[in-house]
Chains A and B, each alone.
Chain A
Amino acid sequence: METTNNTTVVTTDISTTENTELVTTVGTDDAMGNIQFRTDQIGESLGAMGKGMLGIFIVIAAIVFVSALLNKVTSTKKDGDNE
C-alpha cells in the first residue's frame, strides 16, 4: 500500500484460480428457488401504487389538454387560411 498525493492505492496480488464452472444463472439460488412471504415493503409498494396511478392520470391529463389545444389551434389556423 502506498500513499501518493493524499490518494491511497492498494495493490493486491491476484493468484489464478481454476475456473471449474460457468455460472450463467441470473440472481442467487435463494432468489430463484425460494419464495418467502414478506411484509416489510407494504408501505413502499402502497406508496408506489398511489403515486403511479396519480402520476399516470396527471401526465395523461396534460397530454389530453395539449392535444385538445393542438386540435383547436390548428383547426383555427386552417379556418383562417380558408377565409
Chain B
Amino acid sequence: MNFLIDFLAELFGSFTALTWQQVVMWIIGGVLIFLAIKREMEPTLLLPMGFGAILVNIPFSGAVEQLVDGVLEHGPLTTLFNAGISNELFPLILFIGIGAMIDFGPLLSNPKLMFFGAAAQFGIFITVFFASFFFDIKDAASIGIIGAADGPTAIVVSQKLGSNFVPAIMVAAYSYMALVPIIQPPVIKALTTKKERMIRMPYEPKEVTKLTRILFPIVITVIAGLVAPSSVALVGFLMFGNLIRECGVLNSLSDTAQNVLANLITIFLGITIASQMTAEKFLVPSTLLIIGLGLFAFIFDTAGGVLFAKLVNLFTKKKINPMIGAAGISAFPMSARVIHKMGLEEDPGNFLLMHTIGVNVSGQIASVIAGGLILNMFM
C-alpha cells in the first residue's frame, strides 16, 4: 500500500506544484485558441500563442528552460526564443515574406495616400506620452509601438530597447491586430457623419511601370535608412521581399517567401512568443495596464487617420471619404477590408477597396518608419 501511495505521489507530483496563476494562464490560452478557431481571428498567430501559453504554464514544463535538481534543463521554446526572438531574427525574416505579399501598385498610382498612413501612426506617439506616466521612457516607447499594429516591428523595437515588458507587448500587438474589425468601426462612426461615410471615391488607376515597381523598394530603403539607420533592418527586409516579388525573375523565391517561409516563421514565432507567457511574467498589474494602453494606441491610430482625412477635406474640392484614413493602421489587409465593408454598408455602390488597400499598404511603410524613428530617439 505504501508503495502504491509513493508511486502515485511520484507520478502526479507536479500537481502539488500547480498554482492558480498557472491555471489562469491555461484559461487565457484557451480563450486565444477559441478566438482563433471559432471566431477565426488571426488563427495563424493566436492558436500557436494560446497553445504555447498552456505548454509553458505546466509545472516544471520541459518546453522552457528549468533548473531541476541543480541541473539546467534546456527547453526548446527557450532555445527558439534565444535563436530567433531575442536577436530579432524571426520577425525580420517574416518581413521578407510580408514584403513579397504586398502589391504597392494601388499606392504608387496615387502616392499621396501615404500621408494617411503617416497620420494613422499618431496612436504610437500619443501612447508613448501617456505610458511615460507609468513606465520608464524606453518601456513607454516599446508600449507605444503596439500602435504600429505590426507584430514584427513591435518585437524588434521592444527587444532592441531592452524593454522589461516584451511578453505583454507582443501579446497585445498580435491580439489587437486580430481585433481590428471590432475596434475600428465604433471609432470611425464616432468621428464621422453618415454623409461623410457615403462620400464616393471613384478609382482612377494610373499605370505604374515595372521600373517604378522595381526602383520603389530600393529608394524607400535608402531614404528610410538615411533618416533612421536603426530601421534599415526592418525596412530593408520588407523591401527586399517586395523586390523579389517585383523583379519578375525570381518567381519561385517570391512564391517561397510568400508561402513556405512566411508560414514556417509564423509557426515558430507564435509558439515562441508564448514561451514568455509564464504566469509570473504575465499576471502582474503592469500587463493589464499595457493591454489597456495598447487598445488606446489602436483607437488613436484610427482617430489620427480619420481626423487627418477630415482636415484634408477642408482644403480640397474633391472630397475624400474620411474612413479611408483609418486604413492607415498597419493591420494589412484586414483594416482595408473592414473599411471597404463599412463603405458598402452605407452605400452599396461605393467601392473603396482600392483606396483602402493603398492607404493600408502605406501604413505598413509608415509603421516601420515610425519604429525606426522610435529606435533613433530612444536607443
Give A contacts to B, CB under 8 Å.
19, 21-22, 24-28, 31-39, 41-42, 44-46, 48-49, 51-53, 55-64, 66-68, 70-71, 74-75, 77-78
**Assembly CA distance A55 to B280 (angstroms):** 38
Q: Which of B70, B132, B136, B366 has the most CB of A within 10 A?
A: B132
CB distance from A31 to the nearest CB of B (A): 5
Q: Which residues of A sit under 8 angstroms from B115, Cβ to Cβ?
A: 57, 60-61, 64
Within 8 Å by CB of B140, from A39, A45, A52, A61, lies A45
A64/B212 in contact, CB under 8 A: no
CB distance from B325 to the nearest CB of A (A): 14
B227/A33 in contact, CB under 8 A: no
Q: Which residues of B sit under 8 angstroms from A42, Cβ to Cβ?
A: 132-133
Q: Is B204 part of the contact surface with A, judged by Cβ < 8 Å?
A: no
A59/B137 in contact, CB under 8 A: no
CB distance from B156 to the nearest CB of A (A): 16
Q: Which residues of B sit under 8 angstroms from A27, Cβ to Cβ?
A: 164-165
| 14 contacts across the A-B interface (CB closer than 8 A) | A24-B278, A26-B166, A27-B164, A32-B165, A33-B284, A34-B285, A35-B134, A42-B132, A49-B126, A52-B373, A55-B373, A59-B227, A74-B209, A74-B215
B164/A31 in contact, CB under 8 A: yes
A67/B209 in contact, CB under 8 A: no
CB distance from A36 to the nearest CB of B (A): 7
Which of these binds chain A: B117-125, B177-185, B257-265, B334-342? B117-125
A41/B281 in contact, CB under 8 A: no
Q: Which residue of B lies closest to A72 (CB)?
A: B212
**Assembly CA distance A61 to B114 (angstroms):** 8
Give B contacts to A, CB under 8 Å.
64-67, 70, 72, 107-109, 111-112, 114-115, 117-118, 121-122, 124-126, 128-129, 131-134, 136-137, 139-141, 164-167, 206-209, 211-212, 215-216, 219-220, 223-224, 227-228, 276, 278, 280-281, 284-286, 289, 362, 365-366, 369-370, 373-374, 377-378
Q: Which of B125, B165, B167 has the most CB of A within 10 A?
A: B125
**Assembly CA distance A45 to B129 (angstroms):** 5
Within 8 Å by CB of B67, from A21, A32, A67, lies A21
Within 8 Å by CB of A52, from B65, B125, B134, lies B125
A75/B223 in contact, CB under 8 A: no
The verdict on A44 contacting B224 (CB below 8 Å), with A52-B377, A55-B373 known, is no
B112/A64 in contact, CB under 8 A: yes
B224/A59 in contact, CB under 8 A: yes
**Assembly CA distance A58 to B203 (angstroms):** 27
B65/A22 in contact, CB under 8 A: yes
Q: Which residues of B sit under 8 angstroms from A19, Cβ to Cβ?
A: 67, 70
Q: Which residue of A lies closest to B208 (CB)?
A: A71
**Assembly CA distance A25 to B109 (angstroms):** 49
Within 8 Å by CB of B373, from A45, A56, A71, lies A56
